[in-house]
């Protein structure tokens, strides 16, 4: 069995939060490094004052796994592996789940949400990019 992704876009303004080209956290301010961020202006999250701060509903250092990310094929594959008893090391699961979290591993944003385990795993993700 294979898991694949398929995108068919007519109009970027119709993208739901989970169907963008990259992963990003929900519940805190959208960083300028997010591709197509301009299309978020009509989303409820964009105008919610609780979500428009650096940490939003999270606390600094809470860990990426405690937050809510936009849902994409990465999370699907991560959950399939996790729910089927993967033998991958923690770094491997982190790579699967966050490999399209470009604002983090390319632009260096959202590091304030990371815990020590995330910091250790980020090194492995950056090594394969």
For Cα atoms 106, 107, 111, give the angle at the middle one, nearest 5 degrees. 100
Helix (H) or strand (E) holding 26: strand 25-26
Q: How many Cα atoms sit within 13 Å of 43 on the Cβ side?
A: 20
Here the tokens at position 25 are 């956290």
Claim: this prediction has a pTM higher than 0.85? no
Asked if pLDDT for residue 3 goes beyond 50, the answer is: no
Q: What is the pLDDT of residues 58-93, one digit of tens each?
A: 999 999 999 999 888 888 899 999 999 999 999 999
As a whole number of angstroms, the distance between CA 117 and CA 70 comes to 21
Residues constituting the chain: 129
Cα 88 to chain centroid distance, Å, stands at: 20
Return the number of other C-beta atoms located less than 10 Å from residue 92's C-beta.
15
Asked if pLDDT for residue 54 goes beyond 60, the answer is: yes
Binding residues: 73, 99
Binding residues for Fe cation: 73, 99
């Amino acid at each position: 069995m294979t898991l694949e992704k398929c995108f068919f876009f007519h109009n970027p303004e119709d993208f739901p939060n989970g169907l963008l080209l990259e992963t990003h956290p929900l519940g805190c301010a959208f960083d300028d490094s997010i591709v197509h961020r301009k299309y978020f202006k009509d989303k409820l999250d964009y105008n919610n004052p609780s979500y428009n701060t650096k940490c939003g509903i999270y606390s600094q250092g809470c860990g990426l796994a405690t937050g809510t990310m936009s849902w994409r094929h990465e999370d699907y594959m991560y959950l399939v592996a996790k729910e089927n008893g993967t033998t991958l090391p923690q770094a491997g699961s982190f790579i699967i789940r966050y490999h399209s979290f470009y604002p983090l591993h390319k632009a260096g944003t959202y590091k304030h949400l990371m815990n020590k385990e995330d910091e250790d795993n980020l090194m492995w993700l950056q090594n394969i990019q």
